[in-house]
Amino acid sequence: MNRLSGKTALITGAGSGIGRVIAHKFGEEGAAVVCADIKGFEETAKEIADAGGKAIGVELDVSKLDSWKKAYDLTVHEFGAVDALVNVAGIPEAADILDLEEADFDKMMNVNLKGVFFGMKTVLPHFVEKSAGKIVNIASLAAHVGLTKLPSYSASKGGVVSMTRQVAMDYAGKNIQINAVSPGIIETPILANISAEMKKQFTDATPANRLGRPDEIASMVLFLCSDESDFITGQAMIVDGGWGSQ
């Protein structure tokens, strides 16, 4: 406990799913948590506060730089600094490339890839000024292996991994660590709409013979935002039950 005591973390996508679980984990570990999302952020912040933690909710559209600036300014106003940024916000996809419309492709890039770009662009000057900072960008197993009917999603998450590695090299000498986490198939509300047959296919394809849990992703993110990971940067940590190792 208290591995993040005295730290402030800005977490996008905190209104639901993996982002919400990460926000709770950080609150339990002593961080002041800024729960950012387009909806659900107030509920997550209240849950953390009711459990004895410190948190605020903020509306954030990650695809808009002005929205990022407002979220950052509120974070610094409330807590004095930002110590960690966790880019979780993203949207899913299920389409063959022949059926994919240009507008849908652009939306995927604006949220999943440009949102990460805007987040790093917003906090990095602050991190450079204080010579410290942690960034974790949530990518996907789809960035590393071929998965069916995910053309723009895979491209966006592949971009997240590549950008993470590149920016990490530029800022490694400034005591700023930037890493990605690539989840496999995780039990989140998004999976509630898939068929039992598809769920079985996912499970069978995972050597661990089960789907992942959101708290397992949160634990990896926690490690990468703690002082224990100060010599780790530019990495894509794949948490997938062994799928990508086959």
Q: Residue 13's domain spans which residues?
A: 8-241
pLDDT at position 123 is 98
Torsion angle (degrees, nearest 10) of CA 20, 110, 69, 45: -10
116 domain residue, yes or no: yes
> Of 66, 33, 63, which Cα lies nearest the Cα of 48?
33
Per-residue DSSP letter, 174: G
115-164: pLDDT as tens digits: 999 999 999 999 999 999 999 999 999 999 999 999 999 999 999 999 99
DSSP letters for 1-63: --TTTT-EEEEETTTSHHHHHHHHHHHHTT-EEEEEESSSHHHHHHHHHHTT-EEEEEE--TT
Ranges of residues in the chain whose predicted pLDDT is under 50: none
Given the residues 41, 68, 127, 153, the one annotated as active site: 153
Amino acid at site 102 = E
The stretches of the chain forming alpha helices (DSSP H) are 17-28, 41-50, 65-79, 102-108, 114-130, 151-171, 196-205, 214-225
CA-to-CA distance for 138 and 41, rounded, in angstroms? 18
165-183: pLDDT as tens digits: 999 999 999 999 999 999 9
12 domain residue, yes or no: yes
246 domain residue, yes or no: no
Whether residue 100 contacts residue 143, with contact meaning beta carbons closer than 8 Å, is answered with no
142 domain residue, yes or no: yes
pLDDT at position 230 is 98
105 domain residue, yes or no: yes
Number of independent structural domains in the chain: 1
Torsion angle (degrees, nearest 10) of CA 192, 195, 200, 202: -60
Cβ burial, residue 97 (10 Å; 0-12/13-18/19+): exposed
CB crowding 4-29: b at 16 or more within 10 Å, else e: beebbbbbbbbbbbbbbbbbbbbbbb
pLDDT at position 1 is 77
pLDDT at position 191 is 80
pLDDT at position 196 is 86
pLDDT at position 178 is 99
pTM: 0.97
pLDDT at position 190 is 78
1 domain residue, yes or no: no
3 domain residue, yes or no: no
153 catalytic? Reply is: yes
Whether residue 224 contacts residue 169, with contact meaning beta carbons closer than 8 Å, is answered with no
pLDDT at position 22 is 98
The CATH number of residue 16's host domain is 3.40.50.720
Whether residue 23 contacts residue 46, with contact meaning beta carbons closer than 8 Å, is answered with no
81 domain residue, yes or no: yes
pLDDT at position 246 is 79
